């Protein structure tokens, strides 16, 4: 039976072109704006570009609050509508990935959280920060604290989403947001039990010496299986790196190899060589661990199983080299073993005095 092409890139714990790393750092802001006569989509890279007359004062402040933390770009989707479908269609048309928030409004919070989970299931790498609890999703960050800004004005959790969007997006894959100084706040209302809140998948701010800081940069994932959902994947920076690699390899395969190269061993090795070159570049940028042998190769067992599944019983006895050279129909089976770097967080320092 003929089927449409599929590209599946999965990440499991333990388990001659240069691929250029995707430009990350895109913040996507969904704004309900009564001044909008139609749906507007604008892309800003600095505050001087903002079309001030398109937004209410409150929404203009949200855009500026996000941009204050210097994300690569801010995509603003504004409409006089509370229907999430209006904004979702524009997200899909405008960017293939990015961090999303709908600050200042409770109307779309639940729909955005639900949409992110469905996008994750379909293999997309959109991520969001919002105020809906118990999402148990590595692409959704849950936040729910009130605060006070530097002018002494109260800031609701929904209003602070614009700043968090800027913070998380600007951290990108180059740094974690753990201990990040929220310099636009003077005070935050503490949660009753920080450890309990973090264990439940909540991004927590705390009052520290010198200002308000993010305790640890986590998403809302809490249910772990030791394989496709691990402790490492509870951290925003780990998922950012995973998504970066997923998007880059998928794009390179789709744009350069899919439909252009015949499926044979030598062409598969060209693709694998490009992937390994890409891993070397990520290691040089401290996204992958340069002390680890980050490598992709033909997935021998998956390819053998595919042949056995078609009734080729002799494939059970093929040696690994034979399996590698026996490409399977229109499918390419690749496995990689990589080590994503995380930022230093925990310190155990024992001093012994004699």
Q: Kindly report the CATH number assigned to the domain that includes residue 104.
A: 3.40.50
Judge if 160 and 33 occupy the same domain.
yes
Question: Is 17 a member of any domain?
Answer: no
Residues 197, 315 within the same domain:
no
- Do 308 and 316 form a contact (C-beta atoms < 8 A)? yes
Q: What ranges in the chain are assigned the alpha helix state H?
A: 57-67, 84-94, 109-121, 157-171, 194-199, 236-252, 265-284, 300-309, 320-325
| Domain assignment of residue 247, yes or no | no
The answer as to whether 100 is a domain residue is yes
pLDDT the model gives residue 90:
96
Residues 177 and 41 grouped into a single domain: yes
What pLDDT, on the 0 to 100 scale, is given for residue 15? 40
Last residue of a domain, one of 150, 183, 214: 214
Domain for residue 52, yes or no? yes
Give 221-259 pLDDT, tens digit per residue: 999 998 889 999 999 999 999 999 999 999 999 988 999
Write down the pLDDT at residue 16.
53
User: Which of 214, 235, 251 lies at the terminal end of a domain, its last residue?
Assistant: 214
User: What is the spatial distance between Cα 43 and Cα 30, in angstroms, rounded to a whole number?
Assistant: 12
Q: In this structure, is residue 246 part of a structural domain?
A: no
**What pLDDT does residue 14 have?**
46
pTM above 0.85, yes or no: yes
Same domain (yes/no): 308, 171: no
Count the helices and strands in the chain (H runs, E runs): 9, 13
Does 336 reside within a domain? yes
Reduce the DSSP state of residue 49 to 3 states and report it.
helix
**Residue 168 and residue 140 in contact, taking contact as beta carbons nearer than 8 Å:** no
Q: What is the pLDDT of residues 132-171, one digit of tens each?
A: 999 999 999 999 999 999 999 999 999 999 999 999 999 9
168 and 292 housed in the same domain: no
| Number of compact structural domains in the chain | 2
pLDDT tens over the chain, length 354 residues: 666 776 676 656 544 555 666 657 999 999 998 887 889 999 999 999 999 999 999 999 999 999 999 999 999 999 998 899 999 999 999 999 999 999 988 889 999 999 999 999 999 999 999 999 999 999 999 999 999 999 999 999 999 999 999 999 999 888 889 999 999 999 999 999 999 999 999 999 999 989 999 999 999 999 999 888 999 999 999 999 999 999 999 999 998 899 999 999 999 999 999 999 999 999 999 999 999 999 999 999 999 999 999 999 999 999 999 999 999 999 999 999 999 998 888 888 989 998
Within-domain flag for 255: no
Looking at the domain assignment, is residue 96 inside a domain? yes
Residue 272 belongs to domain spanning = 262-354
The region, left, alpha or beta by phi > 0 then psi within -120 to 50, assigned to residue 297 is beta
Same structural domain, 73 and 186: yes
CA–CA separation, 47 and 166 (whole Å): 13
Q: Within this chain, do residues 96 and 207 fall inside the same structural domain, yes or no?
A: yes
């Amino acid at each position: 039976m003929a089927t449409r092409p599929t590209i599946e890139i999965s990440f499991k714990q333990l388990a001659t072109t240069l691929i250029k790393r995707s430009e990350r750092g895109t913040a996507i802001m969904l704004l309900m704006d009564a001044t909008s006569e139609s749906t507007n989509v604008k892309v800003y890279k600095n505050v001087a570009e903002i079309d001030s007359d398109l937004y209410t004062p409150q929404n203009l402040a949200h855009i500026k609050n996000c941009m204050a933390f210097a994300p690569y770009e801010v995509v603003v989707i504004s409409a006089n509508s509370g229907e999430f479908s209006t904004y979702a269609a524009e997200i899909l048309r405008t960017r293939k990935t990015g961090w999303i928030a709908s600050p200042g409004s409770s109307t779309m919070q639940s729909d955005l959280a639900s949409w992110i989970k469905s996008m994750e299931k379909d293999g997309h790498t959109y991520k969001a920060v919002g105020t809906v609890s118990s999402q148990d999703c590595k692409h959704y960050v849950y936040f729910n604290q009130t605060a006070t800004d530097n002018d002494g004005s109260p800031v609701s959790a929904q209003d602070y989403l614009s700043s968090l969007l800027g913070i998380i997006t600007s951290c990108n894959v180059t740094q974690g947001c753990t201990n990040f100084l929220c310099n636009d706040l003077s005070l935050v209302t503490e949660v009753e039990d920080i450890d309990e809140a973090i264990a439940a998948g909540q991004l927590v701010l705390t009052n520290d010496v010198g200002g308000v800081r993010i305790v640890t940069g986590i998403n809302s994932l809490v249910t772990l299986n030791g394989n496709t959902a691990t402790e490492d994947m509870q951290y925003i920076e780990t998922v950012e790196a995973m998504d970066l690699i997923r998007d880059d390899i998928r794009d390179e395969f789709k744009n350069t190899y899919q439909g252009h190269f015949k499926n044979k061993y030598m062409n598969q090795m060209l693709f694998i060589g490009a992937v390994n070159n890409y891993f070397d570049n990520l290691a040089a940028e401290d996204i992958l661990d340069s002390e680890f042998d980050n490598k992709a190769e033909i997935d021998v067992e998956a390819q053998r199983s595919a042949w056995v599944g078609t009734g080729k019983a002799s494939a059970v006895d093929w040696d690994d080299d034979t399996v590698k050279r026996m490409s399977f129909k229109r499918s390419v089976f690749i496995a990689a073993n990589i080590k994503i770097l995380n930022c230093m967080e925990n310190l155990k320092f024992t001093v012994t005095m004699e």
